[in-house]
Amino acid sequence: MIVFSILAAVLAVAALGYLVYALVKPERF
C-alpha cells in the first residue's frame, strides 16, 4: 500500500523531528 508507506514515512520524520526538538530545547520537558 503506497498510502500506508507515505503515512509511515511522515510519522517517522515527525518522530525524528520531535526527538531533535526535545534535545535542542530540554527546558520545556
Its domain, for residue 14, covers 1-29
Q: What confidence score (pLDDT) does residue 27 get? A: 76
**Number of separate domains in the chain:** 1
Cell numbers describing residue 3: 498510502
Task: Give the N- to C-terminal CA distance of the chain in Å, as an integer.
Answer: 36
How much is the pLDDT for 28? Answer: 64
What residues contact residue 29 under an 8 Å CB cut-off, 6+ apart? 22
pLDDT tens for residues 1-29? 899 999 999 999 999 999 999 899 877 65
pLDDT score, position 29: 58
Task: Identify the pLDDT of residue 12.
Answer: 98
Looking at residue 6, what is its pLDDT?
A: 97
